[in-house]
Amino acid sequence: MKNICEWSNCKEDGKFKAPIERDNIRNFKLLCKTHIKLFNKSWNYFNGMSQYEIESFIKSDLTWHRPTQTFGSSDNFFSILWNNALSDKFKIFENDNTRHINISRKLCEKDKDAFRIMDLRFNDDWSIIQKKFKTLVKKFHPDKHSGSKKHENKLKKITLAYSHLKMIMMEK
Ligand SMILES: [Zn+2]
């Protein structure tokens, strides 16, 4: 019997083991070659995030991508994401009914950090967060700073903060 890749909506053979940790229990899931690469690549960037968070981030943000786009080189993942943010892709969110949602629960330190990293107020809603993200991508995009690593790392941090906020908005 063949194993199917456990990435959502993927039908390829799941030949590669991706380590996951849930409730302190170590386990793995089976992924195809394309998705194990993506999984391994994102793993470093998402240090400190749970596997669930990483997956939701990748999945939700991959929905902006055209299927022809690949993640061939090491930093392609982030550059595709940023370029999409700069292009008109945010129009997708016009139909997004989570736009005006605020976080309802009490903020933890990680939540607050995410707001601080993006230079936002704690009660800013999702539509403001999206706008801010787009502004920050414009400001720190490595292409605008001759590929500066400093700006790139800053923008990666911002992207992770944004993805964290995105996830807690979706919680309710
Ligand atoms: Zn797959």
Separation of CA 21 and ligand 1 centre (Å): 19
Number of domains the chain contains: 2
Indicate the pairing of strand 16-22 with strand 25-31: antiparallel
For the CA atoms of 51, 94, 75, 45, the dihedral, rounded to the nearest 10 degrees, stands at: -30
162 with 92, same domain: the answer is yes
Q: How confident is the model at residue 155 (pLDDT cuts 50, 70, 90)?
A: confident
Are 55 and 115 members of one domain? Answer: yes
Domain check: are 26 and 55 in the same one? no
Alpha helices in 27-108 (DSSP H): 33-45, 51-62, 76-86
Expressed in angstroms and rounded, the spacing between residue 83 Cα and the centre of ligand 1 is 24
Give the domain extent around 53: 49-170
Residues 82 and 33 in one domain: no
Does residue 38 sit in the same domain as residue 70?
A: no
- Model pLDDT for residues 74-121, shown as the tens digit of each residue: 355 677 677 777 775 555 555 555 556 676 678 888 788 889 999 999
Domain end among 29, 45, 61: 45
Shared domain for 115 and 34, answered yes or no, is no
Q: Let me know whether 72 and 39 are in one domain.
A: no
Residues near 168 by Cβ (< 8 Å), separated by ≥ 6?
Answer: 103, 105, 111
- Ion ligand 1, residue ranges at CB < 5 A: 5, 7, 10, 12, 32, 35
The phi, psi pair for 96, rounded to 5°, reads -85, 115
Query: Does residue 139 sit in the same domain as residue 163?
Result: yes
pLDDT tens, position by position, 42-86:
655 565 555 565 665 566 554 444 444 444 433 556 776 777 777
Asked whether residue 28 falls in the same domain as residue 106, the answer is no
